[in-house]
Structure 1
Amino acid sequence: MAKATKNGSGGAVKAYLVAYNTASYVGWAYVLLQTVLYLAENGTNLDGLFDRIGYLLIYVQTGAAMEIIHSLVGLVSSSPLTVLTQVYSRLLLVWGILYPFNSPDVRASYGLVLMVLAWSITECVRYSHYALSLLNIEVPVLLYLRYTLFYVLYPAGVAGELLEMWAALPYAGAIRPAFKGFLLLNMVNYPPVLYKLYTHMIRQRRKVLGGGAKASTALGGDTANTTEASKKKKKL
């Protein structure tokens, strides 16, 4: 498997991964900033939210499809199936629902707000953490947030995604009944998939942060060096 090393082709891989994670962070940070600014300016009037962030959100999220390729060709050590599971539902949301359905029920909903905030906060932390780790820069707060925020953001994001799918059902059915059935099937699959991803992150948190004194050491002591080094090959 390809590794990001300091010399040779590994150095090129590392430079590419740093650039990819940095660009992804910038994109998600801009989505988050524009969402927060819109809400501050307009409150609960969501009619213009999609016009403000919608297409940027679609393109930034589509960039995550590269992570599937990264895992398939061995640039990172993540399971391609796990990465595909995480990316698939989001691509379905942006290209299968947000892009085709120009309706306030879909594009001006609280589900969209919940989904976008959960996604963007998660990805800002994740991508910045990975980019800095590849550069051997340790930020204990980012490490902690990376393996803690999911407790809240995963359920929040899933709730937003399900609300978006539910809102899209009538419009999908108008296009083709099979499309509506496809969305319903995806909604039914959410609980087991969420359970799998949630428990996976809990295991990762225990592995990285540990508990008690071990967690404190990982956040500020010598163990952090070993932890960060071991995570350079994790999913980006």
Structure 2
Amino acid sequence: MSKTKGIGAVETYLVAYNAASFVGWAYILVQTVMYLLEHGTNLNGLFDRIGYALIYIQTGAILEVVHPLLGLVRTSAFNTAMQVYSRLLLVWGVLYSFDSPDIRASPALVLMVLAWSITECVRYSHYALGLMNIEVHALLYLRYTLFYVLYPAGVSGELLLLWPALSHAGAIHPALKKFFMLNMAGYPPVLYKLYTHMIYQRRKILGGSSRPKSEQATADTSSAKKKKL
């Protein structure tokens, strides 16, 4: 681990944003694990424990669409918006909208929340430290390795939550059910795109280069502010 010179106003804001997001997702992760240890497979109270915090913390990710629009980070606002949209559909369109045990007390919720929270704790801490020019090789490795398991797990949890939501949506209006079905149909190509992109990034950063891994880690950390926050 190493540290270099100070950072500017924009970087200070981005560090604060990433740090706050890390704290939020760490809270969700800890509360979920504690609930499971206390109640086991009885998930009837899980949403009451983490539900609204999950909704509000995930909604805060809308700022990640604003950041590239303002030129604070170098990433695609459109691609970021699509990723944020899919999660907002889950938290507002499904979890918030349908107060039903087959959704709010579903094992799929546990699967989705654990995948999301672990992913985001690693991602936000990695970027926050990177913006401060602090290298943590363990975080770098986890950032570009955990996705092998967490991406499929998260998508599986999301689809398993969307499935029972179809009947609830259909009871409101057939068009709403079709809207949910359309979103579900978009998951396979999106997952394939994200998965192959992360595999490429992993090979680029952790392997497949003539540079020593320590130099690759330094390059990745110093360019963290240019990547998706």
Same fold per superposition (TM over 0.5): yes
1:136 to 130, 133, 136: 133
Normalising by structure 2, we get a TM-score of 0.94
Q: Which runs of 4+ in 1 moved over 3 A?
A: 211-214
Q: Distance in 1 between matches of 2:143 and 2:167?
A: 37
Check conservation: 1:6, 1:14, Cα contact below 8 A. Answer: no
Check conservation: 2:73, 2:226, Cα contact below 8 A. Answer: yes
CA RMSD of aligned residues (A): 1.5
State whether structure 2 residue 218 is matched by structure 1 residue 225. Answer: yes
Check conservation: 2:205, 2:216, Cα contact below 8 A. Answer: no
Check conservation: 1:77, 1:235, Cα contact below 8 A. Answer: yes
User: What is the CA deviation profile of residues 34-69 of structure 1, one whole-angstrom value per residue up to 9, with x for unaligned ones?
Assistant: 000000000000000000000000000001111011
State whether structure 2 residue 79 is matched by structure 1 residue 82. Answer: yes
Q: Which structure 2 residue ranges, 5 or more long, are not aligned? A: none
Q: Which amino acid aligns with 1:170?
A: S
Q: Distance in 2 between matches of 1:222 and 1:203?
A: 18
Check conservation: 2:25, 2:121, Cα contact below 8 A. Answer: yes
State whether structure 2 residue 194 is matched by structure 1 residue 234. Answer: no
1:210 to 207, 210, 214: 207
- Deviation, 1:21, is 0.2
**SS at the partner of 1:128?**
helix
Q: Distance in 1 between matches of 2:173 and 2:200?
A: 41
| Count of residues in correspondence between the two structures | 225
Q: Which structure 1 residue ranges, 5 or more long, are not aligned? A: none
Q: Which amino acid aligns with 2:75?
A: S
Q: Distance in 1 between matches of 2:71 and 2:9?
A: 14
Q: Distance in 1 between matches of 2:9 and 2:167?
A: 48
- RCO higher in structure (CA 8 A, sep ≥6): 2
- Deviation, 1:6, is 5.4
Normalising by structure 1, we get a TM-score of 0.91
Identical counterparts, % of pairs: 70
Q: Which residue of 2 aligns with 1:70?
A: 67
Q: Distance in 2 between matches of 1:64 and 1:154?
A: 18
Q: Distance in 2 between matches of 1:223 and 1:204?
A: 12
Q: Which residue of 2 aligns with 1:39?
A: 36
User: What is the CA deviation profile of residues 113-134 of structure 1, one whole-angstrom value per residue up to 9, with x for unaligned ones?
Assistant: 0000000000000000000000
- Deviation, 1:234, is 0.6
User: What is the CA deviation profile of residues 148-186 of structure 1, one whole-angstrom value per residue up to 9, with x for unaligned ones?
Assistant: 100100000000000000011111111111111000001
Q: Distance in 1 between matches of 2:209 and 2:43?
A: 43
State whether structure 2 residue 146 is matched by structure 1 residue 182. Answer: no
Q: Pairwise mapping of residues 100-111 of structure 1 onto structure 2 (< 5 A)?
A: 100-111=97-108
Q: Which residue of 2 aligns with 1:94?
A: 91
